[in-house]
Chain A
Amino acid sequence: MSDRIKVTVDGVDVEVEPGTTILQACEEAGAEIPRFCYHERLSVAGNCRMCLVEVERAPKPVASCAAPVAPDMVVFTQTDSVKAAREGVMEFLLINHPLDCPICDQGGECDLQDQALGYGGDASRFDDNKRAVEEKHMGPLVKTIMTRCIHCTRCVRFATEVAGVPEIGAIGRGEDMEITTYLEAALDSEMSGNVIDLCPVGALTSKPYAYTARPWELKKTETIDVMDAVGSNIRVDTRGREAMRILPRNHDDVNEEWLSDKSRFVWDGLNTQRLDTPYVRRDGKLAASTWNDAFAVIAEKIVGKADKLAAIAGDLVCAEGQFALKSLMDNLGSPHLDCRQDGAKLSGPRANYLFNTTIAGIEDADALLIIGANPRVEAPVLNSRIRKRFMMGQFPIAMIGAPADLTYEVSHIGAGTDTLADLLAGQHGFADVLKNAQRPMILVGQAALARDDGDAVLAAAIQLAENSGAISPTWNGFNVLHLAAARVAGLDLGLLPGEGGKDTAGILQAANSGEVETVILYGADEIAGAALGDAFVIYIGSHGDRGAHRADVILPSAAYTEKQAIYVNTEGRPQMTERAAFPPGEAREDWKIFRALSDHLAVTLDFDTVEALRVKMFAVAPHLAQLDQIEPAAAPQAPQAGTMASDAFGVAVEDFYFTNPIARASATMAACAKAKGERAPAKQGTGSHG
């Protein structure tokens, strides 16, 4: 391209886009520039001065992160003057930085430590007292040791720009400058944990992880998160069998490098409340048992009575397990199978239940209508992508449903189906906004779909998308935001009622009437125990939660960090988890449980390895084999449906911190929920100094 600019870095010529910073050009040329304040996903601050480089004909060193390139610029990054500048900056930064690396949690993965080694001097010349800063309270997740802070302001910029909660700031000035939240309140964000990753020193560290491990003693496993349907890429760090912490991995099309607090801090839930051996209820009490015993009890209930058997799959289960369950139910001949434990009216062509625009595609949209969703708590990482698009400007957003603060400007145009009908009839101003937009997006949440008239709402939303020109060969603006990591795979694999089969509501009804006598709950924990009547309940799952409490037989299975399995996110992107640790005790991988059970029920499944299972699964859903690829779905088809009831949409996620059995087992999540409850009334301000 002709309008690219030629820059020479240390004798290497590179061509870059105009507006590129010198630092980016240097990286392109392969020159490493140390930095603290600069972060490619945040605005440029230019206050740490670590990135100084020499530019030909410039009188003094230039802060490369903040200076744009000019044509034929000649940059030097390895000259004596640059080295002296770096050493000088480093010496100033270390003047007030405590020498507490041996007791600092950042030790071993600290930018300041690494860069002091690489670019700093050998000893300090500073003989006076160092400054000390009082600790600041930032809630149950972020531990602060503010004496270590070097005032890069990354956390301030993250909170303001990405998280959309401008609550962190720098008070005072000069030597007295301190980073704090307003009156030291906990950060009111579902993304607050990211400031820990951003902090280049040990000022902001993880409170739950404090003093538990050193980075070099941890085994790092790259895997996928299942706390929401985004499919964030994560790294699970384990020591022995125990998960010690969870960190995000970069994936530009999914989570960038952010992670929601639930995904990041849920790991203590993986180590508590675990089911580690089969249980059988005898005389009203659950007693530890063996696999063979448990299978024998189950066989007694099921063999010969398969028509009275039903199964419901839960929110955190993998594609392999769901496929094995479906195969088992098929072999037994029972059609009563459903993967929608919330009762969402989703099925049909793939485009009807996918986030078709894709998460990265949000950035190309130019108008958004949210129907019955609160992406801030349902998918925080996806919400920050919407905010990112909003910050670019020219992005009108409207919302139908329960009002919520989404961290960006939203016009709340209605509470329920009436407004949706108005939009459909073109009687609302926002209908024109959608129509005039080039690439409008419609986002439908589970609060709008998990109701009796869910299919009518879905039909109306698809109709509206068609009317607004949101669906064309080049753009698919119809989106369903899922809450459960398991759901899209379940729908892809057809875990839906078969011929004459019952859906979740039907199964519960039949369980009460006695029509269904045995129910398999495969990780389904969002169903109240009483709703299952007197049915014999087989629970297959990893945690002792609602499902296990109600169960008559418990078969312990592996959690998402303990198996290699495929999950499909809300976009329809299949991703594979890796095993970070082995499941506890007698617990086994999900598909193995169904395979072993099938033997005892005399309907042996015809696969003996997970590879064989996957071959069969890929025959049903070939796109699952294309890991990290989204198979674009065709246009959504409005289902035949009745009329919409006129009541308002509810709230799909009541408590962000307690949406699944793992989160409910986590003490950290409980502490977060408590802190959130405490700050709610205080937000109006009591006038007293915090």
Chain B
Amino acid sequence: MSVRRLHATQPESFAFTPENIEWSKGQISKYPEGRQASAIIPLLWQAQKQEGWLSEPAIRTVADMLDMPYMRALEVATFYTMFNLSPVGEFFVQLCGTTPCWLRGADDLKSVCRKMIGEQGDITEDGKLSWLEVECLGACVNAPMVQINDDFYEDLTAESFEQVLTDLRAGKEVATGPQNTRHTSEPEGGLTVLKGTK
């Protein structure tokens, strides 16, 4: 886990879209009067969804909406690793490097990232791709895997991962989930037990 700090260059301002403001009001209304601060994580998350990352003005905007001190909002934003405090690519790859994925070839996937994108945190010139190594994402049974934006791409090899990145970059549809013949987390090559039941 790296040191999580605000990005060196920040935008001038941040504003939620009208739809997001409506959505935020809905989130805030879930909590009783005087407890609006409880909505901090959903709102920060929505701000990140809108911009791709959390800027300092965005943190301030959310704090103002919830009537809480800026410092308290900053504490939350820097605590949770799911908040990106620096800009990311349009397709943000979170690559699992924890033991099961590592044993199943996560290092090869990292090499692909380095080749196609660069070092961690770098964004490709077209703004399409960036990557970060993360801890276990809970899909060990389909190791090695990555998460790109909201979806898992599993059972990767260097070749299939490169193909996924290339296709995403080109704007093609890519099937999520296992990138080999497996169906979800069933055994590779089809079921092997409980086949005889009629």
Contact = CB atoms under 8 A, between A and B. Distances in A.
Interface of A: 160, 166-174, 176, 181-183, 685, 687-689
B20 to A, nearest CB: 19
B17 interface: no
Contacts of A166: 69, 71-72
B193 interface: no
Contacts of A168: 71
A173 B56 contact: no
A537 B22 CA distance: 70
Contacts of B69: 160, 166-167, 182
Nearest to B79: A173
A176 B81 CA distance: 12
B180 interface: no
Nearest to A160: B69
A169 B7 contact: no
- Please give me the 5 A-B residue pairs with the lowest Cβ-Cβ distance, nearest first: A169-B71, A166-B69, A171-B78, A182-B71, A687-B12
21 contacts: A160-B69, A167-B69, A168-B71, A171-B4, A171-B74, A171-B78, A171-B79, A172-B3, A172-B5, A172-B78, A173-B4, A173-B79, A176-B2, A176-B3, A182-B69, A183-B56, A685-B57, A685-B60, A687-B12, A689-B7, A689-B10
Contacts of A182: 69-71, 74
B139 interface: no
Contacts of A689: 6-10, 56
Interface of B: 1-13, 56-57, 60, 69-72, 74-75, 78-79
A171 B1 contact: no
Contacts of B71: 166-169, 181-182
A167 B69 CA distance: 7
Contacts of B72: 166, 169
B10 A169 contact: no
Contacts of B79: 171-173
A173 B9 contact: no
A167 B71 CA distance: 6
A64 to B, nearest CB: 27
The B contact surface, by secondary structure, is loop
Given A167-B71, A169-B75, A170-B75, A687 B11 contact: yes
Nearest to A169: B71
B185 to A, nearest CB: 31
Contacts of B60: 685
Nearest to A175: B1
* Interface core residue of B4, B57, B71 (most chain A CB under 10 Å): B71
Contacts of B78: 171-173
A687 B55 CA distance: 9
Contacts of B6: 689
Given A168-B71, A172-B79, A173-B79, A687 B10 contact: yes
B56 A687 contact: yes
B75 A171 contact: yes
A250 B102 CA distance: 59
Contact of A688 (B4, B10, B74, B75): B10
A183 B56 CA distance: 9
Nearest to B6: A689
A173 B1 CA distance: 10
A174 B9 CA distance: 25
Nearest to B4: A172
A160 B78 CA distance: 19
A120 B1 CA distance: 30
A176 B74 CA distance: 14
Contacts of A167: 69-71
A595 to B, nearest CB: 56
A182 B63 CA distance: 12
Contacts of A176: 1-4
A176 B57 CA distance: 23
